[in-house]
Amino acid sequence: MTEELKTYAPPPALAATAHVSGMAAYEALCQEAENDHTGYWGRLARELVSWKKPFTKVLNDSEAPFFKWFEDGTLNASYNCLDRNIERGLGDKTALIFEADGGEVTKTTYAELLAKTCQIANGLKSLGVAKGDRVVIYISMSVDGVAAMQACARIGATHSVVFGGFSAQSLRDRIEDTGAKAVITADHQIRGGKQLPLKAIVDEAIGLGGCDTVKNVLVVKRSGAEVAMTAGRDLWMADVVSGQPTTCEPEWVEAEHPLFLLYTSGSTGKPKGVQHSTGGYLLHAALTTKWTFDLRADDIFWCTADIGWVTGHTYIAYGPLALGGTEIVFEGVPTYPDAGRFWKMIQDHKVSIFYTAPTAIRSLIKAAETNDTVHPKHYDLSSLRILGSVGEPINPAAWEWYHHHVGGGRCPIVDTFWQTETGGHMITPLPGATTLVPGSCTLPFPGISAAIVDETGNDVPNGQGGILVVKKPWPSMIRTIWGDPARFKKSYYPSELRGYYLAGDGAIRDAKTGYFTITGRIDDVLNVSGHRMGTMEIESALVSCTELVAEAAVVGRPDDTTGEAICAFVVLKRPRPTGEEAKAIAKQLRDHVGKEIGPIAKPKDIRFGDNLPKTRSGKIMRRLLRAIAKGEAITQDTSTLENPAILDQLSQNN
């Protein structure tokens, strides 16, 4: 860090009352974990999670890195999120405040959510879905979506939610890889005033082949518009649940039973099915919701993520419910009907904890600059007490705006670093303890042994950048990659790192404070608007357009709004196009990528070349492509390049 940044101490009232109150309390927890790692996690697992059969052993590391937590304990995640709250007298408390795209609000109490969950659970059982089966959920933000996840958990089926923005091809790949027995979807999704298909995409995905394991598709009615239904396979959810009892005995599963699979991008073309456990995952979901957000009985919590991403799993479907909280489930988008939507909803629902992504903040800053009426100052945001950020680094300017204009200067911002694989927060401020520095995710969550090392696993001193690792296992860690344990080991526990978990990010600790700042991925993974994407995945999508594309290389370049932007360099099977022809082909390729993966993966820039910069041994020199994508002059050594002239050609804009 070159310039001195401002610091923000916790508000005194919060520091006095928070679940983790003051820095000394934070340090005491870290010390407890340091002295007795398994004792610490065992204590919390007993305090926060209700077990059917208590565990006797906290950690089994005999098959490291395939760690097992609370192995001989049994529990049910849905019991913990629903029944338990009702037993504690919260049956009539609002669990979910659903706001539809068009603004209609529906409140669901804990008792109602349990009844709905049980009916879906019984419905699934009536179709033969049982413990250990996989269920793919392809649905937008909805009470049904949350209830469907809870219903799977209730019967011990492993859910795999696929974000509604993924294409038929991506959905097909995930259905095939999970071997799902059922798919839960809706007729349509409604976002930004537009009706978009879901069921039709499920049909297309199954039609692509390889989905023979799917016996039933359950369709929730959202738009009410007509959709094709395949006899014998497709059923309306309303018909499946009608007449089903509103109670359902939970299936008590072992702590290691896979609660869900969630696909994420890595450095190869094939997304990985990250497998999470029930016990350890639920513990960290509940614990981080309690400590990082300081969730209290009267809070209105709003995490704006979609349930298709891990943030929506941990901080919508599980964490807040495990604590008996009240939360918002929002169907729409931040810019509809205008870019004041978030601020209006915070005002209307008196949201007290608000958790969103830097990319959303940056786009709303832009919107407020061009249209003052959507500036947060026009809304009453006085209910807010804690703000959160997730998914990518938050630049200090956006941090300051968020703090000042949204938080009124009163609310700590918890900049939470974590990943699909980590299940919950790893490095984050605690709002009543940590002094904040904009742009830094500050310090590890108590019990998380985050560290920065070099390529061989040696600690690097503060002030010097390196590779982010986690030295000891933790309860909510990824258990394996579904169907590919070898890839799990290779990706996260490479032998040269002495058994440390490799996050895939670079980081640096401040020389004075020891605060962590994430410097970005060290692998071929991009982060576009907080969405994670592999460059190889996009490259394979491009080259799968076989009639046009001979070769493609994808890199990221910094972007003011989306964090990173996708930049593709493409060699066609025909002479290099220019002008209008280049534009038309670029559009065609973008659409092709949209079809192969989903709109989020469409490259922002596509540049055509006669070939790509390669070494004499044929390796594409991506660092040169990254420089070109950024518009930088090439100052690097190009002497190993086979074809130096290509650099000039690619540097020209098409």
Provide the minimum distance between the beta carbon of 8 and ligand WT7 in the complex, in angstroms, as a whole number.
16
Nearest CB to ligand WT7, comparing residues 384 and 427: 427
Q: Which of 266, 391, 431, 473 binds ligand WT7 (CB under 6 A)?
A: 391
Window contacting ligand WT7 (CB under 6 A); options: 107-115, 367-375, 430-438, 497-505: 497-505
Q: How many Å apart are CA 412 and CA 141, to the nearest integer?
A: 27
Provide the minimum distance between the beta carbon of 262 and ligand WT7 in the complex, in angstroms, as a whole number.
9
Residue 415 is a binding residue for ligand WT7 (CB under 6 A): yes
Binding marks (x or -) toward ligand WT7, 307..326, rule CB under 6 A? ---xx---------------
Beta carbons of 492 and 477 less than 8 angstroms apart: no
Q: Which of 289, 440, 527, 654 binds ligand WT7 (CB under 6 A)?
A: 527
Beta carbons of 386 and 293 less than 8 angstroms apart: yes
What DSSP string describes 129-168?
Answer: --TT-EEEEE--SSHHHHHHHHHHHHHTPEEEE--TTS-H
Beta carbons of 500 and 509 less than 8 angstroms apart: no
Residue 416 is a binding residue for ligand WT7 (CB under 6 A): yes
Check the annotation: does 46 bind a ligand.
no
Q: Which of 504, 556, 609, 613 binds ligand WT7 (CB under 6 A)?
A: 504
Nearest CB to ligand WT7, comparing residues 119 and 314: 314
Nearest CB to ligand WT7, comparing residues 419 and 561: 419
Backbone angles phi, psi at 52, to 5 degrees: -75, -50
Residue 390 is a binding residue for ligand WT7 (CB under 6 A): yes
Provide the minimum distance between the beta carbon of 519 and ligand WT7 in the complex, in angstroms, as a whole number.
9
Nearest CB to ligand WT7, comparing residues 312 and 340: 312
Amino acid letter, residue 591: D
Q: How many Å apart are CA 182 and CA 161, to the nearest integer?
A: 12
Window contacting ligand WT7 (CB under 6 A); options: 58-66, 106-114, 169-177, 417-425: 417-425
Provide the minimum distance between the beta carbon of 542 and ligand WT7 in the complex, in angstroms, as a whole number.
22
Q: Count of CB atoms within 10 A of residue 338's CB? A: 12
Output 319-322 pairs: Cβ under 8 A, ≥24 positions apart.
319/285, 319/286, 319/288, 319/289, 319/424, 320/289, 320/295, 321/81, 321/82, 321/85, 321/95, 321/113, 321/150, 322/48, 322/49, 322/77, 322/80, 322/81, 322/282, 322/285, 322/286, 322/289
Residue 442 carries which DSSP code?
Answer: B
Window contacting ligand WT7 (CB under 6 A); options: 98-106, 126-134, 363-371, 501-509: 501-509
Residue 285 is a binding residue for ligand WT7 (CB under 6 A): no
What DSSP string describes 549-612?
Answer: EEEEEEEEEEETTTEEEEEEEEEESSSPP-HHHHHHHHHHHHHHHHHHT-GGG--SEEEE-SS-
Nearest CB to ligand WT7, comparing residues 432 and 504: 504
Provide the minimum distance between the beta carbon of 644 and ligand WT7 in the complex, in angstroms, as a whole number.
33
Q: Which of 122, 244, 420, 535 binds ligand WT7 (CB under 6 A)?
A: 420
Q: Which of 342, 343, 417, 492 binds ligand WT7 (CB under 6 A)?
A: 417
Residue 437 is a binding residue for ligand WT7 (CB under 6 A): no
Binding marks (x or -) toward ligand WT7, 208..247, rule CB under 6 A? ----------------------------------------
Window contacting ligand WT7 (CB under 6 A); options: 127-135, 291-299, 359-367, 387-395: 387-395
Near ligand WT7 in 550-609, by CB under 6 A: none
Beta bridge partners of 509: 516
Residues 6+ apart with CB under 8 A from 47: none
Provide the minimum distance between the beta carbon of 411 and ligand WT7 in the complex, in angstroms, as a whole number.
17
Nearest CB to ligand WT7, comparing residues 97 and 394: 394
Backbone angles phi, psi at 651, to 5 degrees: -70, -25
Backbone angles phi, psi at 640, to 5 degrees: -85, 0
Provide the minimum distance between the beta carbon of 464 and ligand WT7 in the complex, in angstroms, as a whole number.
19
Residue 450 is a binding residue for ligand WT7 (CB under 6 A): no
Residue 518 is a binding residue for ligand WT7 (CB under 6 A): yes
Distance of alpha carbon 109 from its chain centroid, rounded?
Answer: 26
Nearest CB to ligand WT7, comparing residues 304 and 449: 304
Beta carbons of 382 and 408 less than 8 angstroms apart: yes
Q: How many Å apart are CA 2 and CA 511, to the nearest integer?
A: 11
Binding marks (x or -) toward ligand WT7, 244..283, rule CB under 6 A? --------------------x-------------------
Residue 306 is a binding residue for ligand WT7 (CB under 6 A): no
Q: Which of 165, 197, 393, 432 binds ligand WT7 (CB under 6 A)?
A: 393
The most distant pair of C-alpha atoms in the chain lies apart, rounded to whole Å, by 74
Provide the minimum distance between the beta carbon of 475 and ligand WT7 in the complex, in angstroms, as a whole number.
17
Check the annotation: does 227 bind a ligand.
no
Amino acid letter, residue 123: G
Query: From the DSSP assignment, how many helices (H) and strands (E) are in the chain?
Result: 21, 30
Residue 288 is a binding residue for ligand WT7 (CB under 6 A): no
Cis peptide before 337 (omega within 30 of 0): yes
Q: How many Å apart are CA 331 and CA 145, to the nearest integer?
A: 11
Residue 524 is a binding residue for ligand WT7 (CB under 6 A): no
Window contacting ligand WT7 (CB under 6 A); options: 214-222, 449-457, 498-506, 587-595: 498-506
Check the annotation: does 543 bind a ligand.
yes
Provide the minimum distance between the beta carbon of 563 and ligand WT7 in the complex, in angstroms, as a whole number.
9
Provide the minimum distance between the beta carbon of 418 and ligand WT7 in the complex, in angstroms, as a whole number.
4
Window contacting ligand WT7 (CB under 6 A); options: 63-71, 145-153, 191-199, 414-422: 414-422
Nearest CB to ligand WT7, comparing residues 74 and 304: 304
Place of tokens 């600790």: 509
Residue 304 is a binding residue for ligand WT7 (CB under 6 A): no
Check the annotation: does 390 bind a ligand.
no
Place of tokens 């007449």: 243
Tell which residue, 116, 473, 450, has the closest CA to residue 277: 473
What DSSP string describes 164-223?
Answer: TTS-HHHHHHHHHHHT-SEEEEESEEEETTEEEESHHHHHHHHHTS--TT--EEEEE-SS
Provide the minimum distance between the beta carbon of 194 and ligand WT7 in the complex, in angstroms, as a whole number.
25
Place of tokens 């027995």: 181
Provide the minimum distance between the beta carbon of 389 and ligand WT7 in the complex, in angstroms, as a whole number.
6
Residue 505 is a binding residue for ligand WT7 (CB under 6 A): yes
Check the annotation: does 557 bind a ligand.
no
Q: Is 229 helix (H, G, I), strand (E, B) or coil?
A: coil
Amino acid letter, residue 408: G
Tell which residue, 100, 621, 169, has the closest CA to residue 331: 100
Feature table: binding site for CoA: 191-194, 311, 529
Residues of this chain that bind ligand WT7 (CB under 6 A)? 264, 310-311, 390-393, 415-420, 441, 503-505, 518, 521, 527, 532
